[in-house]
Amino acid sequence: MKSERRHELQENVLANYLGQINQAIEPYSKIILAGVIALLVAVVGYSLYSSKAVGERSDATLGLLQESESQDPEALEAISTRFPGTPAAAWAELQRGSQLLAQGSQGLFVNRQDAEVQLEDAKSAFKSALSKGKDKMLRSRANYGIARAAESLGQIDEAVEGYKDCIKVGESEEIAKACQDRITSLGRDDTKDFLAWFADQDFTPADPSLPPSLPSGNTLPDLPDLNLPALEGGDGEVSDTGVELPEATTDETAAAESDEPETEQPTNEQESMEMPTELTPANDPPAEPATEAPPENTDVKTETPDAS
């Protein structure tokens, strides 16, 4: 009995306590209800926003992976514009700056004016990546890219500042050492002289069909004087210059030679065929006058020389 009585007393105390609470919050019941509803709406909204942000980050990352191999800076810029505030947008700007830096560095030897525009755009892309990303590697590579672009443009002071900012990020010892080496190199006089000289050079070919750094046809030297002096020694005689030329003849000599009849020299076969069969002595002695022979030798005959 005592336990039942004790239980009833406890229930009465709890009921009285709840009644007091209800009386206390009854004037604020509408406000409390509105707060609960607002909290539920906030939770649902945050869930929807989170899912949308996750979807955008996924789409931005996929687009970045697809456009990284295209070597198209405009496509990377479109990703940064479509998905602002995402990590992929900052990396897209970094990738765009790297591509513009590579194209501008090579273009200095083809079209310097266009190359300088690309290098300035590269610096802008790297600075945009710095403003959109907080990742240590991203910030280090962006500062390094700014320094490289400034060095290509001959802007030594800005290049040194970029290398120093890259060292301050502290990505790795290797990148810090590379930046320090460039700072040391840019401090030498020979490097400054070279960059100053290179900034004044224009390797744009005059003729687009010619390869870079080759002169056009207008800059080639004139033809040499081909009026050679008269050379002595004809008929196979070699002159002092080592060139064998026919003997120079005047017009009168050529005309006189053309008037003379041409005679053909017999060949060896013709000479052998035209040889006479009998040979006569070239100088026959004169015939002696006939004299009377002695009476005892009346039959003496005179001999003629043998023709054979």
**191-245 per-position pLDDT tens digit:** 888 988 888 887 776 666 656 655 555 655 665 555 656 555 545 454 455 445 5
**Residue 100 in contact with residue 114, Cβ under 8 Å?**
no
Total-model pTM: 0.53
Q: What is the pLDDT of residue 298?
A: 46
- Torsion, CA 132, CA 133, CA 139, CA 144, rounded to 10: -40
**Residue 243 in contact with residue 234, Cβ under 8 Å?**
no
Which of helix, strand or coil describes residue 107? Answer: helix
Q: What is the pLDDT of residue 177?
A: 93
* CA distances, 258 to each of 254, 263, 264, 293, 302 (Å): 6, 12, 15, 65, 56
Q: What is the pLDDT of residue 82?
A: 83
Q: What are phi and psi of 124, to 5 degrees?
A: -65, -40
Indicate the range of 25-29, 141-145, 236-240 predicted with least confidence.
236-240
Check pLDDT > 80 for residue 43: yes
Per the listing, tokens 């026959």 go with 284
CATH of segment(s) 72-199: 1.25.40
| Segment 56-85, tens digit of pLDDT | 677 777 777 777 777 788 888 888 888 888
